[in-house]
Amino acid sequence: MRTNFPMELDDLKQDLARFEHSLALFAERLGINLAEHEADHVAVRCHQFATAERWKTGLLQIGTQFSEAMINGRPICLFKLHQPLNLAGWQIDVIELPWPGEKLYRHEGWEHVEIVLRGEPETLGVRAMALLSDDALKQPGISFKTSAPKGENERLPNPTLAVTDGQTTIKFHPWRLEEIVASEQS
């Protein structure tokens, strides 16, 4: 069952099938069986502050905001949905909404899903790369980026490996966002 989107999220509702199809094709290219992994959250991207504000208004109708933090110079809001979003066989109940930054994305809408790979943060990249097929590493148009986004009071290290084809991205990190936010309060 799909989440009941309010009109402020009509564009995201329309974009969901495209993203789900793109995600399935990308995972196949990478040799990743999505069902074997724990999805943490799904994220959207937009170019305009007005769009971010509209999406925030809509997300507050279907969920509760549990965090707003400045990360890499821009606000990022996290929402816990009242009813999980059914995406690629997962039940995802957290949506990440970053405000526009300096980078303009090719597409406004659903942009990435993050998978939790439990284990030592220092070995995240190695563990994530081991999930990919040998062919995935050789394909043109696929790029990899490591980062360590950090909110002001986060106590858990949060390294991230992003794998993208420029349109759809799958990211890996060692913690659920809710665990990272909870670390800020302890």
User: Residue 14 in contact with residue 79, Cβ under 8 Å?
Assistant: no
How many alpha carbons fall within 13 Å on the CB side of residue 110? 24
Put simply, whether the predicted model's pTM sits higher than 0.85 gets the answer yes
Q: What is the pLDDT of residues 6-19, one digit of tens each?
A: 999 999 999 999 99
Residue 109, CA distances (Å) to 33, 57, 186 in order: 23, 15, 33
Percentage of the chain beyond pLDDT 90 is 66
pLDDT at 40: 95
pLDDT at 58: 98
Q: What is the pLDDT of residues 131-176, one digit of tens each?
A: 998 888 788 889 999 887 655 555 667 788 999 998 899 999 999 9
In this predicted structure, the answer to whether residue 185 has a pLDDT above a threshold of 80 is no
Q: Give the chain's domains with CATH numbers.
A: 7-185 (3.10.180.10)
Residue 31, CA distances (Å) to 24, 27, 114, 165 in order: 10, 6, 16, 14
User: Residue 170 in contact with residue 37, Cβ under 8 Å?
Assistant: no
pLDDT band at 43, cuts 50/70/90? Answer: very high
Q: What is the pLDDT of residues 74-93, one digit of tens each?
A: 899 999 999 999 999 999 99
